Structure formats: structure tokens, C-alpha cells
Chain A
Amino acid sequence: MPSALVFFTELADAPSKAQRELLTLAASIGEPTVAVASEVSQATAEQLASYGVAKLLVAPANQASFLEHSLSVLEAAVKQSAADVVLVANDNFNREVAARIAVRVGGSIVTDAINVSADLVVTKDELAGSYSAQAQATGGVLFVTLKPNSIEDAPQSAAAEVSINELAIETSAAEKVRIVGTEEKVVSDRPKLTEARVVVAGGRGVNGDFGAVEQLADALGGAVGASRAATDAGWISHDAQIGQTGVTVSPQVFISAGISGAIQQKAGMQTSKCIIAINKDVDAPVFEIADFGIVGDLAKVLPQAAEEIRRRQA
């Protein structure tokens, strides 16, 4: 049976949805080891037990480190666990850490995976989700970065004890990169865009006002996204950008409001399970891929839908 290692740079008391998906996937492969490059509380360790985690390796950093500490922890954990497959999150930082250690240990890396089978065949999206490919390692450790919203989170009920083991790491390489400034972002109460079950996104058609988009997102408990036209116009933070140079989302429901659906925008959302589009222009390309389309004014349609949802929930 192959063995899996899951690597987290941080693990909060409530693991994120993406982290729970990684744990569920690891459990389906074999008794997983989890390595974390920062402090882990006893309460969090207990949660890991419900995912069949066999071993928890923890190595908090002694000093501020942008990159080297995470590299050292993953390298040490790969060696100590002797894992065949290493699962990490799909964000830029984690994929870079995994890719560098894949070079260091002579392994390979597959990004944007949506599944890994028990015999370590990786299923992944190619060409912005227009193809589905399967790949397999031909030797060495296989590093896989998993797209969020790929695996149904399924903790098991039988919970054994998981003890926190300190992972011994060799002294990290001298830090080449210094952190000289940190701007904290405004943290929203809405779900994370990449992990949300519902995404409502606005484009040029919102005309500077995301109020109606936010209202509908909140009625549905969803996240707010945007097209590049809207973020470039400064109507909403760049973090909300969905598309080739922004984030890729794959929610259950994607509601596109006032977005024409240019090819670069489609690249970020076309693997959504269900797409609903609202646009004034009947010829907008987004209607070609929408399961349900409304030709109309989003400033009227979105508030009406939000109100109707609240009415039915009341």
C-alpha cells in the first residue's frame, strides 16, 4: 500500500475546506503522515485523528522565514516519512515549495490535480479545464497539488489518538529573501473564493457597484468574484479576479453577472458544476456555456433573486 504525506505551512484550529479535502484524499490512499511547518494545538491534532492520520510531524520556525523554513520542513518530512506521494495545497506558495523539494529529492510534481487514485494515478485538468488528463510517476516521490472543491470532505468517525511529534530538521539554508513589509488584507466573513460552494461574480456590467453582487452572494452564503475588467477598473480588489491571471474556481454554482465571458475569463470558471449568466447583451459569449441564462439588467435581477431566497428561507 502506498503511503501519503500531507504538508501544511500552517494548520489552524479549524482546518480549512481545502485542507480537509487534502486529508480526506490522503486517508483514501493510506495511513497518512501530516507535516506542519508551524505550531499545532492539541485540539487540531485531535481533529486530524478523524481522518485516519497515523503520524503528525510538527516543526515550528525559530525565526521569521519566508521560504527556507517551509523547504526544510517538507524535505525532512519527505525523508522521514518515506512517503510515495506528497499532497499539498494548490496555491502559489505551496506549489513552489513542493516543486523545489521535488527537484531536491529527484521526484516529480503534478499541479492542478482533482484526484489521486489508490494506485497513485493523478487526474488533473489541462488547458484551463478543457481537457482531463491522467499521469503517473515513473520513479521517485510524486508531489501533487490538489485543486480545492475536488474531493468530498469525509472525516471518518472512528478516531484514534494522534500524538504530536517534533520533526527534527537540519539547519535551514541561509535566508536569501527578507520580508521587509507586511500589509494585512481585509478579511471578509464570506467563504474563500477558491473554496466556496457558490460564487457570484461581477464584471464590466456592474458599472462600479458591487452591491447587488454582494447581496446575492450573501443570500446564498457564497463568495464574491470579478472579471479582470472590474478589478482593473478598481471597483474591487485584485484578489477577487477570476480567470487566467487570477484564481480558478470550480464551485457547485457560478453566477456570472455583467461579464461577457471572454476566453481568459472562461478559463477561470468553466469547470463549475452549474453556470448561471445574467447579461444585457444577448450575444455575450458567456451564454454559450451557461446552464441558465437571463438577458436583463443585473441591477434588477440580482436584488430580486436575493430577496426571493431570503423570503423562501424565512
Chain B
Amino acid sequence: MTEENTAPLKIVVLVKHVPDVQFDRHIDSGSLRLDRSESVLSELDEYAVEAAVALVESQGGFAAGHEVIAASMGGKSASNSIKKALQMGASSGVHLNDEALIGSDTVVTSKALAALVEHVGNVDLVVTGMSSTDAETSVVPAQLAERLNFAQLTHALSVDFDGASRELSIRRDHAESTLTLAAALPAVLSVTDQANDPRYPNFKAIMAAKKKSITELCVADLGLAAEAVGAAGSRVAVLSAEARPAREAGTVINDSGQAGIALVDFLAEQKLI
């Protein structure tokens, strides 16, 4: 028991390379796939990296043998998001890059990522952001808990880890309450943007990251058949995707003392009151 309690933690933090939300994003009308050319680390995953690294720092730091492995599933450029996570303090990277994965739905994505976590082996904790900023489904963490048979601690507003009992607890909004939930490891943790303030890597951290390794994997390395993943393995197909017409600016008036009345007139004209 004592031995188990002092064993170093092995944490996988999942990071996604997504189109930058600061620019216009496009879905290709032919392939019906998202244009991923101007991509960055999903900003919500920075909270996950911070949570993982801060957890290690609270337990004696990396010198104590804890590991934070930044893992990403994505094309060649997804390695940039892994590098960002390494600069923020993750100890190594894993990049699952395989054309067979293109078009994976959440059920298949969680299958591939669960296989990745099992490939890494002896993982105590998987940490993710609350949602990707591209697909915004927020369901992959729960699906990973299902597949890995790990405790599901998702949408954390705050995170606490008790090193002695190796129990993780979070606060989470649920219906009309905020719950405190606790579970023993292994667990899947997803954190909201309320959980922490992600650090900016300094020069030293950026230089240190250059020495960290990134392991490249394909689906065969995980024991998965190409047709079990990607569009072929998914049981939902996108039929069409159309840009909604851009909203146009309407009338803008300067308040000369009667704008509140004008607002009500507008609501009445539009039959909204």
C-alpha cells in the first residue's frame, strides 16, 4: 500500500490542434471537412496542460519521477501543439498521425485515444480540456472514461489531489448545484477555463522543450485496423455543411436622449413584444 502511494504519477494530457478561432474558419464544400491550415493548440487545452503540470509540481515535481505525456491525434502540424505543451512543462510527447483517422467521429476518436492511453501503459490520469474549440462536442473525455473503465471527473471548476490517498476531487456544476466529486485514480479529468491560469512558457522552458522527445505512432502501432477508425469506422456521416449567411449590420443610432424609446419601438415593429 505504502509503495503504491508513493509511485510516480503517469499522466497523459490530450491536446488538440485546431483552426485558430481568431480567424474565419471554413468547412470545405467538397470534402465537408474543416480547413485546418491555420491551426494552433486549442486554447481550452492549455488549461489541461496547466492542470497536469501543476498537479505534478504539487507532488514533488518532475524530479520525483512523475511524467506528463502530451498526446495528440492529428496531421503532421499537430506536432506544433505537442511542442507548445512541452514548453508549458509536459515531459514528453506522443503524436498519433495516420491518414486512416481522417473523418473519425467522437466514438471512433475515443476508441483511438483509449488505445493510445493503453499503449502508453500504466496511466493513472488522463487530463483534457472541457471541449475542443472546433467540434465542441465535449463528449470524448466521458467516452474515454467509459472505454478505459476509469473514473469520470469532467468539467472541473477546480481540482484537488490528495497525494496520500491518491484521490482526486473536483467541483462541477450540475443542474441547480455545484457538486464536489471525488474518485480514486485512475481517472479521466476534464478542466474548464475556471480551473487555473495557464502559464506562458519562458525562454528557459522553450529551450528545455527542444530536448524533449515526441514519439510518432500510427493506428497499426495501437493494434487498430485502418477500417475500424476514420470515416470508415464511424457510424455517422456528414451529408452537407453550409455557411450560414453572415449577419448584416442593421441601423445604428446615436442616443440623443430617446434611444430607450427607439429600442422599444424597434421591438414592437419586429413584433417581438
The interface of chain A, by Cβ under 8 A from chain B, is: 10, 66-67, 92-93, 95-100, 102-104, 106-112, 121, 126-140, 142, 176-185, 187, 198, 220, 238-239, 244-245, 252-253, 255, 263-264, 267, 270-271, 274-276, 278, 282, 287-297, 300-309, 312
Contacts and interface: CB of A to CB of B under 8 A. Distances in A.
B210 interface: no
Given A182-B179, A245-B44, A107 B151 contact: no
Contacts of B154: 92, 96
Given A289-B249, A309-B273, A126 B264 contact: no
5 contacts: A131-B244, A132-B241, A136-B239, A180-B181, A304-B259
Contact of B136 (A108, A112, A181, A276): A112
B173 A239 contact: yes
A127 B151 CA distance: 30
Which of A100, A252, A302 gathers the greatest number of chain B CB atoms within 10 Å?
A100
Contacts of A104: 146
Contacts of B264: 305, 308-309, 312
Which of A100, A264, A292 gathers the greatest number of chain B CB atoms within 10 Å?
A292
Contacts of A301: 255, 259-260, 263
Contact of B238 (A134, A276, A302): A134
Which of B147, B175, B268 gathers the greatest number of chain A CB atoms within 10 Å?
B175
B240 to A, nearest CB: 5
B255 A109 contact: no
Contact of A176 (B139, B152, B261, B266): B152
A296 B249 contact: no
B249 A99 contact: no
Contact of A131 (B21, B27, B110, B152): B27
Interface string B124-155: 00000011011011111111011100111111
Contacts of A184: 176-177
Nearest to A296: B255
Nearest to A231: B194
Contact of B179 (A66, A102, A109, A271): A66
Interface of B: 21-22, 25, 27, 32, 34, 44, 105-107, 110, 130-131, 133-134, 136-143, 145-147, 150-155, 157, 169, 171, 173-184, 187, 192-194, 234-244, 247, 249-255, 258-264, 266-268, 270, 272-273
Nearest to B19: A127
Contacts of B134: 127
Contacts, number: 246
A73 to B, nearest CB: 15
B266 A127 contact: no
B235 A139 contact: yes
A185 B177 contact: yes
Nearest to B169: A180
A133 B238 contact: yes
B153 to A, nearest CB: 7
Nearest to B25: A127
Contacts of B259: 278, 294, 296, 300-301, 304
A178 B192 CA distance: 20
Contact of A100 (B145, B236, B262): B145
Given A92-B154, A181-B179, 5 more contacts: A132-B242, A176-B151, A176-B152, A182-B180, A292-B252
Contacts of A132: 241-242, 244
B145 to A, nearest CB: 7
Contact of A134 (B240, B243, B260): B240
B27 A127 contact: yes
A294 B234 contact: no
A300 B255 contact: yes
Given A92-B154, A103-B146, A182-B177, A177 B239 contact: no
A185 B268 CA distance: 35
Contacts of A244: 21, 133
Contact of B236 (A95, A138, A182, A294): A138
B130 A245 contact: yes
B273 A108 contact: no
A300 B147 contact: no
A46 to B, nearest CB: 24
Given A127-B27, A178-B182, A300-B260, A102 B152 contact: no
B260 A305 contact: yes
Contacts of A102: 106-107, 143
Contacts of A239: 173
B254 A103 contact: no
Given A99-B139, A245-B44, A301-B263, A293 B253 contact: yes
A253 B272 contact: yes
Contacts of B192: 245
Contact of A135 (B239, B244, B247, B252): B239
Contacts of B141: 96
B197 to A, nearest CB: 11
A293 B255 contact: no
B176 to A, nearest CB: 5
A178 B266 CA distance: 51
B22 A108 contact: no
Contact of A138 (B176, B237, B240): B237
Contacts of B25: 127, 130
A237 to B, nearest CB: 10
